[in-house]
């Protein structure tokens, strides 16, 4: 797919109102605001869950403390992170799904992936490494090869390289997980930063 065709697809995604107008008994509780970042030139892709409240307000992916931590994990500054020719960002759900009764984010909308995901990834021909963040993205992108839970999947990250690298969500809610699993910082992050640096050099 050409850059022009990708731009046309992205325009269609940004106009999408399926989960708002045809969402059945539980439609999207607010106006849609799809958030993504793509280019045919990108070699790295971040696939996560869905935008949160702050990203929904700004329209900028990972424009929050989770994004700050993620950029630290990647060893990447903001300018590079938001350069679509270097890094694509494709959440499982493009819109903020709303909050549950406890104030946590709802899961990504189920309508989104079947509508757009296959066509979108076909339009990213230079993709070499997909960073798979959280259980919903891992279920979709790793399929039957994912382990019984997120911890086991991330622990077996070597099984998915060099094309995929599973990661926990960088949210502050995962501080306890990070403390319980120190191997993530000592074993996984150095490899992540090395691979990212290598692919960024190829993007110059």
In tens, the pLDDT along 133-179 reads 999 999 999 999 999 999 999 999 999 999 999 999 999 989 999 99
pLDDT, tens digit, 9 for 90 and up, residues 49-87: 999 999 999 999 999 999 999 999 999 999 999 999 999
Instruction: Give percent of the chain above pLDDT 90.
Output: 91
* Residue 32 CB neighbour total at 10 angstroms: 19
For the chain, the first-to-last Cα distance in angstroms comes to 21
CA 32 from chain centre, in angstroms, equals 18
Number of helices (H), then strands (E), belonging to the chain: the values are: 11, 4
pLDDT band at 203 (very low <50, low <70, confident <90, very high): confident
CB within 8 Å of 89: residues ≥ 6 apart? 36, 37, 38, 45, 46, 48, 61, 62
Quick one: pLDDT at residue 93?
97
CB within 8 Å of 35: residues ≥ 6 apart? 51, 55, 56, 59, 60, 61, 91, 94, 95
Arithmetic mean of pLDDT over the chain: 95
- Per DSSP, 158 falls in state G
Burial of 94 (0-12, 13-18, 19+ CB in 10 A): buried
Quick one: pLDDT at residue 118?
96
Structurally, at CATH architecture level, domain 3-203 sits in 3-Layer(aba) Sandwich (3.40)
Structure tokens of 30? 């607010």
| More confident call, 130 vs 24 | 130
Looking at the chain, how many residues does it have? 204
Query: Taking residues 185-193, what's their average pLDDT?
Result: 98
Q: Is the pLDDT of residue 204 over 80?
A: no
- Per DSSP, 87 falls in state E
């Amino acid at each position: 797919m050409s850059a022009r065709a990708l731009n046309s697809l992205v325009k269609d995604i940004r106009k999408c109102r399926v989960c708002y107008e045809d969402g059945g008994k539980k439609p999207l509780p607010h106006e849609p605001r799809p958030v993504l970042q793509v280019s045919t030139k990108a070699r790295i892709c971040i696939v996560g869950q869905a935008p949160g409240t702050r990203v929904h307000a700004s329209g900028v992916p990972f424009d929050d403390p989770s994004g700050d931590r993620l950029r630290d994990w990647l060893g990447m500054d903001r300018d590079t992170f938001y350069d679509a020719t270097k890094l694509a960002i494709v959440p499982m759900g493009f819109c903020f799904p709303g909050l549950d009764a406890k104030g946590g984010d709802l899961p990504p909308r189920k309508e989104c992936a079947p509508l757009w995901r296959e066509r979108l990834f076909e339009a990213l021909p230079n993709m070499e490494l997909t960073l798979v963040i959280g259980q919903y993205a891992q279920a979709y992108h790793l399929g039957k090869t994912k382990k019984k839970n997120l911890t086991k999947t991330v622990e077996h990250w070597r099984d998915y390289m060099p094309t995929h690298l599973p990661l926990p969500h960088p949210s502050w809610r995962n501080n306890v997980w990070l403390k319980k699993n120190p191997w993530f910082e000592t074993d996984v992050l150095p490899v992540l930063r090395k691979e990212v640096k290598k692919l960024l050099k190829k993007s110059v």
